């Protein structure tokens, strides 16, 4: 099971959940069913993420059910096949099903798949009386399953396009646009958890010379080497970005306000040990500033960090 994130807790899904709510309401009405759901399965269990609004039974959305419970949807997820139970009270297999015990003796459900073929969950209708559905009912539920699967493909595509729009093609780091978006989120997070933020500005020394003497490919290799070096030095929840040709920034969470010089020193030490494929050492100048807690303009902060970097570069080149 590849999903770990509940759609109910994700901003990305909220506009779609409204549409799915309408879908489930129509499905319940079309099937004359007192209950209808879209259920999501993740590694943590099963959750009804949408329930028909007019339903006459107690199940709502948001509760997580373990895979140990003999739910109808669990069976669909195990078999990856549609399931139609006309009357669970006639089949001892459902004796320990809490839904049947609550009177929901009829179930018609189908698996919903993600675009990559993994299971997303189920779409289903339930009834408090035994049913004998006309074959058009499963076709209707299948139609709703197709709608949700189409939406999941669109959501996935949007996410991929967003990632492409936010990332730098050469290094795979975030680009300036991605950095701007994530920097604001990181700033909010830092304020909430009481951490300080440091903004680093990194610039490769003499890249023009590398390009001119050894070719553009050797220059690209230097850029990639710095990106990999930054990833190696920084923690997973720090943010690294390439915001220009040989200009990089990193937003780092600091547990103590006075650790920024230590972070810069650690990066300097690590990066100066790197040897480029052309045999030259990787030379990088780094400037850093502390990010104030108040709301600020990140472009201005980047400019201040750039000035710090420039001071360091001048000092390095002079001495």
Ligand X SMILES: Nc1nc2c(ncn2[C@@H]2O[C@H](COP(=O)(O)OP(=O)(O)OP(=O)(O)O)[C@@H](O)[C@H]2O)c(=O)[nH]1
Give the interface with ligand X as residue ranges (CB under 6 A): 170, 203-209, 211, 216, 219-220, 223, 245-246
Work out the widest C-alpha separation in the chain, in whole angstroms.
Answer: 89
- Cβ proximity to ligand X, 152 vs 166, nearer residue: 166
Least Cβ distance, residue 260 to ligand X (angstroms): 22
Nearest to 34 by CA among 60, 61, 52: 52
Which tokens hold the place of 95? Answer: 């004796």
> To the nearest 10°, the Cα dihedral for 26, 30, 35, 40?
-60
Least Cβ distance, residue 223 to ligand X (angstroms): 6
Distance CA 193, CA 207 (A): 39
Least Cβ distance, residue 316 to ligand X (angstroms): 9
- Cβ proximity to ligand X, 191 vs 278, nearer residue: 278
Least Cβ distance, residue 179 to ligand X (angstroms): 17
Distance CA 138, CA 144 (A): 10
- Cβ proximity to ligand X, 21 vs 211, nearer residue: 211
Do residues 110 and 75 touch, judged by C-beta distance below 8 A?
A: no
- Cβ proximity to ligand X, 213 vs 275, nearer residue: 213
Least Cβ distance, residue 216 to ligand X (angstroms): 4
- Cβ proximity to ligand X, 169 vs 297, nearer residue: 169
Least Cβ distance, residue 285 to ligand X (angstroms): 7
- Cβ proximity to ligand X, 238 vs 246, nearer residue: 246
Nearest to 43 by CA among 67, 63, 61, 27: 67
Least Cβ distance, residue 112 to ligand X (angstroms): 43
- Cβ proximity to ligand X, 165 vs 170, nearer residue: 170
Least Cβ distance, residue 265 to ligand X (angstroms): 20
- Cβ proximity to ligand X, 87 vs 205, nearer residue: 205
């Amino acid at each position: 099971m590849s999903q770990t994130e509940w759609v109910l807790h994700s901003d990305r899904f909220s506009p779609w959940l409204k549409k799915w709510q309408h879908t489930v309401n129509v499905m319940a009405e079309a099937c004359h069913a007192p209950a209808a759901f879209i259920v999501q399965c993740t590694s943590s269990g099963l959750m009804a993420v949408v329930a028909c609004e007019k339903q006459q039974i107690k199940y709502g959305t948001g509760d997580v059910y373990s895979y140990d419970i003999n739910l109808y949807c669990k069976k669909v997820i195990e078999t990856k096949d549609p399931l139609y139970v006309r009357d669970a009270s006639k089949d001892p297999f459902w004796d320990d099903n809490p839904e049947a015990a609550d009177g929901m003796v009829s179930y018609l459900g189908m698996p919903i798949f993600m675009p990559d073929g993994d299971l997303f969950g189920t779409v289903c209708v339930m009834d408090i009386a035994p049913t004998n559905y006309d074959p058009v009912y499963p076709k209707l539920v299948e139609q709703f399953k197709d709608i949700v699967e189409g939406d999941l493909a669109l959501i996935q595509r949007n996410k991929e396009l967003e990632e492409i729009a936010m990332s730098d093609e050469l290094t795979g780091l975030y680009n300036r646009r991605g950095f701007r978006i994530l920097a604001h989120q990181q700033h909010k997070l830092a304020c909430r958890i009481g951490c300080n933020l440091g903004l680093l500005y990194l610039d490769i020394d003499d890249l023009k010379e590398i390009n001119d003497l050894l070719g553009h490919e050797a220059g690209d290799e230097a850029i990639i080497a710095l990106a990999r070096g930054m990833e190696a030095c920084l923690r997973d929840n720090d943010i690294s970005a390439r915001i220009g040709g040989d200009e990089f920034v990193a937003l780092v969470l600091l547990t103590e306000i006075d650790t920024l010089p230590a972070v810069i020193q650690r990066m300097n030490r690590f990066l100066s040990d790197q040897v480029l494929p052309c045999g030259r050492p990787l030379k990088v100048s780094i400037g850093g500033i502390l990010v104030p807690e108040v709301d600020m303009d990140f472009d201005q902060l980047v400019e201040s960090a750039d000035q710090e970097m420039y001071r360091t570069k001048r000092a390095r080149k002079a001495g």
